Structure 1
Amino acid sequence: MLTWVRPWIAALGCVAAVSAGAAMVPPALERPALAVRAPERAVLLAVAAAGPRLVAVGERGIVALSDDQGQRWRQARSVPTSVSLTALRFVDALRGWAVGHAGVILHTTDGGETWTRQADGRSLAQAALNAAARTPGDAQVRLAQQLVDDGADKPLLDLHFYDANRGVVAGAYGMFFETTDGGKTWNSAMDRIVNPKALHINAMRADGNALYLAGEQGLLLRSDDQGKTFRPLTSPYAGTWFTLAVPRPGTVLAAGLRGNAFISGDQGDNWSRLESAAQASYVSAAELPGDEVILANQAGQLLRSRADDALKVLPLPPLPPVSAILPLAEGALLAVGFTGALRLPGPAVSPVAQGAVK
Structure 2
Amino acid sequence: MLKRNFGIACLLAVMASGGAVAADYKGPLEVPAKVNTQFAQANRLTAVAKAGNALVAAGPRGHILVSENGGQSWSQVPVPVSSDLVAIRFLNATHGWAVGHDGIVLHSADAGKTWIKQFDGKQAAAVADAHFKRAMAAGDEQAKAFESFVTRFVEEGADKPFLDVLFLNEKEGFVIGAFNTAFRTRDGGKTWEPLFWRVENPNSYHLYALATHAGELYAAGERGLLLRWNREQERFVALASPYQGSFFGLLDTGKELIAYGLRGNVYATSDGAATWRKIETPAADSAVGATNLADGRYALVTVGGRILLNKKDGSGFDLLPARSPMPYASVAAAGGQAVVAVGARGIRVETINGQTVQEK
For the aligned pair, the TM-score class normalised by the smaller chain equals 0.7 to 0.9
* Aligned residue identity for 1:157: L
Partner of 1:246: 252
Q: For residue 252 of structure 1, what is the amino acid of its counterpart?
A: L
Q: Could you say if the C-alpha distance between residues 150 and 32 of structure 1 is closer, same or farther in structure 2, counting changes exceeding 3 Å?
A: same
1:267 match: secondary structure: coil
Deviates more, 1:251-260 or 1:218-227: 218-227
Task: Classify 1:158/1:220 alpha carbon distance in 2 versus 1 (closer, same or farther; 3 Å).
Answer: same
Q: Contact (CA 8 Å) 1:86, 1:101: kept in 2 or not? A: yes
Q: Paired residue for 2:106?
A: 106
User: Quick one: which of 323, 326, 331 aligns to 2:332?
Assistant: 326
> Residue type matched to 2:171 in 1?
N
2:266 equivalent among 253, 258, 261: 261
| 1:274 maps onto 2:279 in alignment | yes
- Alignment correspondent of 1:66: 67
Shift of 1:270: 1.0
Runs of 5+ unmatched residues, structure 1: 1-22
d(CA) in 2 for partners of 1:291 and 1:268?
Answer: 21
Residue 339 of structure 1 is aligned with which of 345, 350, 354? Answer: 345
Q: State the 1:150 CA deviation.
A: 0.5
Tell whether 2:297 aligns with 1:292. Answer: yes
Residue pairs, 1:80-95, within 5 angstroms: 80-95=80-95
Measure, in 1, the Cα distance between the counterparts of 2:151 and 2:122: 11
Structure 2: gaps spanning 5 or more residues:
1-22
The answer as to 2:165 corresponding to 1:159 is yes
Moved more, 109-118 or 287-296: 287-296
Q: 1:247, 1:288 within 8 Å by CA — same for their partners in 2?
A: no
Residues 164-175 of structure 1 correspond to what in structure 2 (within 5 A)? 164-175=170-181
Show the counterpart of 1:14. none
Shift of 1:27: 0.8
Q: What secondary structure sits across from 2:149 in the alignment?
A: helix
Hey, what does 1:178 align to over in structure 2?
184
Q: What do residues 314-338 of structure 1 show as CA deviations (whole Å, max 9, x unaligned)? A: 1232411111100111111101111
Post-superposition Cα deviations, 1:297-328, rounded to whole Å, max 9, x if no partner, equal 11100112233212221123241111110011
Map of 1:49 onto structure 2 = 50
Taking the aligned partners of 1:297 and 1:227, their CA distance within structure 2 comes to 36
Q: Partners in 2 of 1:139 and 1:57 — Cα distance?
A: 37
2:41 equivalent in structure 1: 40
SS at match of 2:235: coil
Between the aligned partners of 1:97 and 1:241, the Cα distance in structure 2 is 22
Query: Deviation per CA, 1:237-270, whole angstroms, max 9, x where unpaired?
Result: 1111111111124x21111111211111212111
Give 1:342 shift.
1.2
Q: 1:333 to 1:259 in 2, by over 3 A?
A: same
Give, in whole Å, the separation in 2 of the partners of 1:171 and 1:216: 11
1:88/1:226 CA distance change after superposition, 3 Å: farther
- What is aligned with 2:201? 195
Structure 1 segment 4-23 matched on structure 2, within 5 A:
none
Q: What one-letter code is carried by the residue in structure 2 that aligns with 1:128?
A: A
State the alpha-carbon separation in 2 of the partners of residues 35 and 29 from structure 1: 16
Q: Distance in 1 between matches of 2:276 and 2:351?
A: 31
What is residue 315 of structure 1 aligned with on the other side? 321
> 2:97, 2:108 within 8 Å by CA — same for their partners in 1?
yes
Q: Secondary structure at the match of 1:300?
A: coil
Q: d(CA) in 2 for partners of 1:317 and 1:214?
A: 32
Listed one character per residue, the Cα deviations across residues 184-227 of structure 1 (whole Å, up to 9, x for unaligned) are 10111222210111111001111242111000111101125499
1:8 alignment partner in structure 2: none
The residue identity in structure 1 corresponding to 2:310 is: S
Secondary structure at the counterpart of residue 242 of structure 1: strand
**8 Å Cα contact 1:248-1:291 kept in structure 2:** no
Residues in 2 aligned to 1:257 and 1:227: alpha-carbon distance in whole angstroms: 31
Shift of residue 37, structure 1, vs aligned partner: 3.6
- Please tell me the root mean square deviation across aligned C-alpha atoms, in Å: 2.0
Tell me the number of residue pairs that the alignment of Structure 1 and Structure 2 aligns.
Answer: 329
Q: Is the CA contact (8 Å cut-off) linking 1:211 and 1:227 kept in structure 2?
A: no
Query: What SS does the corresponding residue of 2:336 show, helix, strand or coil?
Result: helix
Following superposition, the deviation at residue 55 of structure 1 comes to 1.0
User: Which has the greater radius of gyration?
Assistant: 2
TM-score (ref. length: structure 2): 0.86
Match of 2:354 among 335, 350, 354: 350
Deviations 1:265-302 (A, max 9, x none): 21211111111231101111112245422111111001
8 Å Cα contact 1:126/1:144 also seen in 2: no
1:157-202 deviation per Cα after TM superposition (whole angstroms, max 9, x unaligned): 0011112111111101111111111111011122221011111100
By how many angstroms is 1:119 displaced? Answer: 1.0
* Kept after mapping to 2: 8 A contact 1:41/1:340: yes
The alignment-based identity, stated in percent, is 36
